[in-house]
Amino acid sequence: MAVRDIVTIPDSILYRKARKVTDFGKELQTLVDDMVETMRVAPGEGLAAPQVDVPLRVIVVEFGDEEDESVPLKLFPVVNPEITRFSKEQVTGTEGCLSIPDFVGDVDRSVSVVVKGMNRRGQPMRIKSSGWLARIFQHELDHLNGVLFIDRTERIWKLEGEPAQVIPTV
Ligand code: NI
């Protein structure tokens, strides 16, 4: 595994739609491993392949529980993910992004979403998520479509003093 460089704005790859994965071979396995390591080192709770300069529809998300720190983190690598259900109910939350260092913003997201996709071996999978995990999935899916959280907010601000760790970044 290797830590890859994280692309930041205004790199054009962040504004482009990523391609579907069709080859589940060794190159994809290395990409997923490297994305997991890069996300952990950053540190972040999610990462999309365009953020490591690869225009493919691959995301990794690692999250435990918002309220209970004793719940172990769960890792979700998802290939060709789609959100098949968005709850009508939305909630505002403060997000950061590893590709937009030091800035955060308030973004409205669905409270719960259903994500469909494939695991790293190409087998179908479906994840029901809510709360912060659902927010991470929505943020990462946006990355695959060239959309950034700053496109979805009217209020962004720079974190002063404290580094970005105070807000989970994805
Ligand atoms: Ni991001």
Domains and CATH numbers, the chain: 12-158 (3.90.45.10)
**DSSP reduced 3-state for 66:** coil
pLDDT value at residue 87: 98
Tell me what the mean pLDDT of segment 96-110 comes to: 95
* Distance from residue 99's CA to the centre of ligand 1 (Å): 6
Alpha-carbon separation of residue 138 from 95, 107, 108, 153 (angstroms): 11, 11, 10, 14
95 in catalytic set: no
* Distance from residue 18's CA to the centre of ligand 1 (Å): 14
**% of the chain with per-residue pLDDT over 70:** 94
Mean pLDDT (the chain) is: 94
* Distance from residue 143's CA to the centre of ligand 1 (Å): 7
Residue in the structure block whose two tokens are 């983190």: 73
pLDDT value at residue 59: 98
Specify the pTM. Answer: 0.94
Query: Can you tell me the distance from the alpha carbon of 170 to that of 166, in angstroms, rounded to the nearest whole number?
Result: 13
Residue 13: both structure tokens together: 């790859």
Set 45, 69, 140, 162: catalytic member? 140
* Distance from residue 150's CA to the centre of ligand 1 (Å): 10
